[in-house]
Chains A and B, each alone.
Chain A
Amino acid sequence: MTAGLPRISSAAAAPLPDGRSAGPRHGVRRGIREVLDYLGILPFLLFIGVFLLWPTCTVIVGAFQDAEGRPTLDNLVAVAQGTYLEAFALSFALSAVTALLGAVLGGLLAWSVATGRRDSALRRVVAAASGTLAQFGGVMLAFAFLATFGFNGLVTLFLRDRLGIDLFAGGAWIYELPGLALVYTYFQIPLMVIVFLPAVEGLRPQWREACLSLGGDSWAYWRHVGFPILWPSFLGATLLLFANAFSAYATAKALISQASPLVPLRIGTFLTSEIVLGQANLGKALAFGMIVVVAATTVLYALLQARSSRWLR
């Protein structure tokens, strides 16, 4: 893949269709038009400001203040070590593992759906199911999961009573990280399908046929054409999955009752429990850490997406 070459969109280089000139009168009128255009998105900007920017600023500012509001780095230093650091590491590992699993399995699913017939029932079912399941995270999912595989879950009891298999011989894994990883994968796979399917569908049949007629087999097509084209989208989608898992709270909260091994759970305890004197802003420092991770991921995602969508357009 060759990056960094100047890319000039042919549409942008084309002259105005009717060759109109932006004279002074047009200029004024257009200026008013533009202001009006922006008026339309004012409610949206307000919404973003009140519910996103403001809280974010509060968190960021708070992370750098002590209980009396004096600037300090102590909070950040505190969350960069000990159990807080472990929570970050665990959150990171859990997100990375489930993102990879979700990306690979969801990617394969998207591919098998896309190669099927355009109007097939399978395709519609998978698309609809993915849309639902990707939103089906949180408490509902955890509950459904426990009702099936928990200590008193249907499958657990069936296996134990009828077949003599004890799912929990190795410990209560389902209430710990492995169980969490499994549950996360449940919504990661459908999310991957939703995000990645358009990219797979963007592969034109002519590319495969052109490759074939130029002497390439299926392997050559995937190696030289299909994979290189999909790769940025795949990577981007994986990053999105990572961010999605990293900030998931409800599912983890519902499944893991005692300890708080993940960053979102840690922040949760700061919200609910009594504040230890002098640590008032530790929660904000943790949140700041999350914002940094998710923001970095999002920026990476946007960069990769911009690169791949240029080809698929």
Chain B
Amino acid sequence: MSQDRSAAGVRVELVDLRRRYGEVRALDGLTLEIRPSELVALLGPSGCGKTTALRALAGLERLDGGQILIGGRDVTDVPANRRDMGMVFQAYSLFPHMTARENVAFGLRLRKVGSTERLRVADRYLDLVGLADRAARYPHQLSGGQQQRVALARALAIGPRVLLLDEPLSALDAKVRSQLRDEIRRIQLEVGTTTLFVTHDQDEALAMADRVAVMHAGRLEQVAAPTELYERPRTARVAEFVGLTNRLRGEARDGAATVLGISVPLLEGSVREGPVTVLVRPEAVELAPDPGGAARVVAASFLGSIGRVRVRLSDDTFLLAQVSSADVARFGHGDPVRVSLRPVPALATEA
């Protein structure tokens, strides 16, 4: 692909973005930097301001405060149609009266590119998204997944400085979704365009992104590579939003907490002294069938590659443990088990 402009991705900086709708602070001081050619997934619960942030970056949403820099240049006041952003919406954004090819060529048509040239480019991008043979179809003749591929091709065909995707897969079924997400990632790596990808699906975010930015109530909670986000969450919200966690009572002292009689090292950002709640991943919990064990199995479920067992502790709190799928059968309802923890670093918050 001759991606003259986007081959070297640009840096995007969102600085202290603010936006209110009446009493609702959709963006409440959001600051985020996206490195050149990076794919950042914006993750967070519904209503936390992801769409607002993305639309602000696209120029489709007015801001009450803050600054947006693209490639070091302040574009806060540049209108949407001069920002050179490729945008893929949640669904149904293709122009219904144009064929797939005409849709993809549309941005170039607006840029006064001659018709032979723009159709050639359109075909190249349709090829990139694997739809060369559907070029003459109208949107209503394409499946949801195919429509989103065309939308991606249309966004990329203008050689955008930044690619913006707002839950582009949420209207698709699970199988198409995971297939298409791999493909979007492949294409993004190939063209090298700096990309912001909004999703509320943590699997999607962790699977696709170079870094994941977790938002809450209009602000950034943490931005980090997927593994780091998972293993070293900075806040309880991040720990609970990404992956599963158990909340266990413990006592913190000298950078470690004692939980269920076991000493667990504490992550940065933890409460260091006194009674705490320790957030423990199911993988860090070990179970062993033991007639003398104080815990009882509540339920064991087989999830394909892994298994999960829920147990009730002697103090009537519940605990979720991850076991190998082969071991699921060893835990029957009501069986006594012994619980221990692996000393994986964990986050501790106020009890």
Residue numbers of A with Cβ under 8 A of B are 1-2, 5, 7-10, 204, 206-207, 209-217, 220, 224-225, 228-229, 310-313
Is the Cβ of B92 less than 8 Å from the Cβ of A204?
Answer: yes
Is the Cβ of B85 less than 8 Å from the Cβ of A213?
Answer: yes
Most buried by A among B86, B95, B99, B141: B95
Residue of A nearest to B138 (CB): A7
Binds A, one of B105-113, B246-254, B315-323: B105-113
Report 20 cross-chain contacts, Cβ distance below 8 Å, ordered by A residue. Answer: A7-B138, A204-B92, A204-B93, A206-B89, A207-B95, A209-B60, A209-B89, A209-B93, A210-B94, A210-B95, A212-B81, A213-B59, A214-B107, A214-B158, A215-B84, A215-B158, A220-B110, A225-B95, A228-B97, A229-B97
Residue numbers of B with Cβ under 8 A of A are 58-60, 80-87, 89, 92-97, 99, 106-107, 109-111, 136, 138, 140-143, 151, 154-155, 158, 164
Residue of A nearest to B142 (CB): A10
Residues in A whose Cβ lies below 8 Å from that of B142 = 10
Alpha-carbon distance between A313 and B96 when the two chains are bound, in angstroms: 9
Alpha-carbon distance between A10 and B142 when the two chains are bound, in angstroms: 7
Closest 4 CB pairs of A and B: A214-B107, A311-B96, A206-B93, A213-B87
Is the Cβ of A2 less than 8 Å from the Cβ of B99?
Answer: yes
Q: Given contact pairs A212-B59, A215-B111, A229-B97, enumerate 10 new A-B contacts (beta carbons under 8 Å).
A: A7-B140, A10-B140, A213-B80, A213-B81, A215-B82, A216-B110, A225-B95, A229-B95, A311-B140, A312-B96
**Do A8 and B87 form a contact, CB below 8 Å, given A206-B92, A214-B158?**
no
Alpha-carbon distance between A10 and B59 when the two chains are bound, in angstroms: 35
Is the Cβ of A215 less than 8 Å from the Cβ of B81?
Answer: yes
Is the Cβ of B97 less than 8 Å from the Cβ of A210?
Answer: no
Is the Cβ of B141 less than 8 Å from the Cβ of A8?
Answer: yes
Alpha-carbon distance between A206 and B168 when the two chains are bound, in angstroms: 13
Alpha-carbon distance between A7 and B85 when the two chains are bound, in angstroms: 32
**Do A311 and B97 form a contact, CB below 8 Å, given A213-B83, A215-B81?**
yes
Residue of B nearest to A8 (CB): B141
Most buried by B among A2, A209, A213, A312: A213
Alpha-carbon distance between A5 and B81 when the two chains are bound, in angstroms: 32
Is the Cβ of A212 less than 8 Å from the Cβ of B80?
Answer: yes
**Contact for A1 among B83, B92, B97, CB less than 8 A:** B97
Is the Cβ of A213 less than 8 Å from the Cβ of B136?
Answer: no
Residue of B nearest to A217 (CB): B81
**Do A10 and B141 form a contact, CB below 8 Å, given A212-B60, A213-B83, A216-B110?**
yes
Residues in B whose Cβ lies below 8 Å from that of A217 = 81
Residues in A whose Cβ lies below 8 Å from that of B97 = 1, 225, 228-229, 311
Is the Cβ of B89 less than 8 Å from the Cβ of A5?
Answer: no
Residues in B whose Cβ lies below 8 Å from that of A228 = 97
Residues in A whose Cβ lies below 8 Å from that of B96 = 229, 311-312
Alpha-carbon distance between A2 and B101 when the two chains are bound, in angstroms: 13
Alpha-carbon distance between A310 and B99 when the two chains are bound, in angstroms: 14
A197 CB, min distance to chain B CBs, angstroms:
18
**Do A213 and B92 form a contact, CB below 8 Å, given A8-B141, A10-B140, A310-B140?**
no
A173 CB, min distance to chain B CBs, angstroms:
43
**Do A214 and B154 form a contact, CB below 8 Å, given A10-B142, A224-B106, A313-B140?**
yes
Is the Cβ of B110 less than 8 Å from the Cβ of A215?
Answer: yes
**Contact for B81 among A9, A216, A224, A229, CB less than 8 A:** A216
Is the Cβ of B136 less than 8 Å from the Cβ of A5?
Answer: yes
Residues in B whose Cβ lies below 8 Å from that of A229 = 95-97
Residues in A whose Cβ lies below 8 Å from that of B82 = 215
Is the Cβ of A213 less than 8 Å from the Cβ of B95?
Answer: no
Residues in B whose Cβ lies below 8 Å from that of A209 = 58, 60, 80, 87, 89, 93
Alpha-carbon distance between A229 and B138 when the two chains are bound, in angstroms: 13
Alpha-carbon distance between A209 and B89 when the two chains are bound, in angstroms: 9
Residue of B nearest to A204 (CB): B92
